[in-house]
């Protein structure tokens, strides 16, 4: 778990894991070095400050520093899939899973001059 702080104030948290599930990713994709951005939660009083996008930007840099090729996300929510695409994640596939749509998205890991996208 990683935390975004503003001084002493917690503004957001995210969870990164290095194991991909089988529902969204192929065997070949699971073998590629990647980090899965599992969950991100931000302070609702700071809505509009794009804290989630800033955390996603940081993960791209962090993944590159860890030797990963990809940062990946999975969601069952169409609005979140669209939001992640606005953050630069490409839709790899959409498929049905347990009666719901499942969206698998990824973007290349890369070193960023300003990892938090300020």
The pTM score is 0.87
CB of 71 closer than 8 Å to CB of 35 = yes
pLDDT tens per residue across span 28-41: 999 999 999 988 88
Phi then psi for residue 67, to 5 deg, are: 85, 10
pLDDT tens per residue across span 61-102: 999 999 999 999 999 999 999 999 999 999 999 999 999 999
Measure CA 45 to chain center: 22
Going from the N-terminus, what domains does the chain have, and what CATH number goes with each? 2-108 (3.40.630.30)
* Strand-strand pairing, 90-97 and 9-17: unpaired
Q: Which two tokens stand for residue 39?
A: 């969950």
d(CA 13, CA 42) in angstroms, rounded, equals 6
């Amino acid at each position: 778990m990683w935390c975004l702080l503003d001084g002493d104030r917690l503004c957001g948290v995210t969870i990164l894991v290095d194991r991909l599930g089988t529902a969204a990713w192929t065997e070949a994709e699971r073998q590629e070095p990647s980090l899965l951005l599992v969950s991100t939660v931000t302070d609702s009083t700071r809505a509009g400050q794009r804290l989630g996008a800033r955390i996603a930007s940081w993960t791209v840099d962090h993944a590159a520093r860890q030797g990963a090729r990809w940062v990946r996300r999975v969601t069952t929510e169409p609005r979140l899939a669209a939001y992640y695409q606005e953050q630069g994640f490409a839709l790899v596939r959409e498929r049905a899973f347990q009666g719901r749509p499942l969206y698998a998205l990824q973007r290349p890991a890369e070193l960023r001059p300003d990892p938090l996208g300020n």
